[in-house]
Amino acid sequence: MKKTIIAALILASLMTACTAKPNVPEATAQPEASAPAVVTEEAAKDEKVSFETTDINGSAVSMSDFSDKKVVMINFWETWCPPCVDEMPDIEELYEKYRDSGFAVLGVFASSTDAEVLSLINELGITYSVFGVTESLTKYQTQYVPTTIFVDGSGKLLTKEPYVGSKSHDEWENIITSLLG
């Protein structure tokens, strides 16, 4: 009985977050309370998120493109992370539902290849912007994926800590609607 409970707890933790080690598709448990998943000290001091890059489709994208948005969800994920992939359709649905209310989503990957990412976003029907991590965004990553931060249209962080691990559709919707006000 005890082994069954332990196995269930391990499985549950594997379903919420993966270790974000470049090129190592190995899922591990979420961080323990003694090892908080926070962004870098540099990111915590920053007043605004800023970046300029090219998305997976070759289009220029920068934080200034979202200046008219109330809430921008920046979701760090990888193709090899099952919890990341599992929550993407929910995030897409919420993007479609709230984008006219001032909501945008940016999907950011680091170790997955462009080909893997293109294949996955086409398979899932993802329409929000997806691009490789930029140097300016690395400081907002934790060692786990998915990790999500929320900013306003000017890039100002809307929450103190990143959200580490996947969330259900309803959990994300509650967070999004509370931030949209």
The model's pLDDT over 112-133, given as tens digits with 9 standing for 90+, comes to 999 999 999 999 999 999 999 9
Average pLDDT score, the chain:
83
How far apart CA 85 and CA 67 sit, in angstroms, is 28
Cβ 79 vs Cβ 117: under 8 Å: yes
Question: Residue 92 pLDDT > 80, yes or no?
Answer: yes
The rounded percent of the chain whose pLDDT value lies above 70 is 75
Instruction: Say how many C-beta atoms besides its own lie within 10 A of residue 21's C-beta.
Output: 15
Instruction: Grade residue 18 by pLDDT with cuts at 50, 70 and 90.
Output: confident
Instruction: Grade residue 90 by pLDDT with cuts at 50, 70 and 90.
Output: very high
Three-class HEC string of the chain: CHHHHHHHHHHHHHCCCEECCCCCCCCCCCCCCCCCCCCCHHHHHCCECCCEEECCCCCEEEHHHHCCCCEEEEEECCCCCHHHHHHHHHHHHHHHHHHHHCEEEEEEECCCCHHHHHHHHHHHCCCCEEEECCHHHHCCCCCEECEEEEECCCCEECCCCCEECCCCHHHHHHHHHHHHC
pTM for this prediction: 0.80
When mean pLDDT is compared across 19-23, 98-102, 130-134, the lowest value belongs to 19-23
pLDDT tens-digit readout, 27-57: 333 333 333 344 455 555 557 999 999 999 9
Long-range CB pairs of 119-123 (<8 Å, 24+ gap) are 120/79, 120/85, 120/88, 121/56
Q: CATH number of the domain at 2-180, please? A: 3.40.30.10
Question: Residue 7 pLDDT > 50, yes or no?
Answer: no
What is residue 27's predicted lDDT score, i.e. its pLDDT?
A: 37
Question: Residue 13 pLDDT > 70, yes or no?
Answer: no
Where do the domains of the chain lie? 2-180
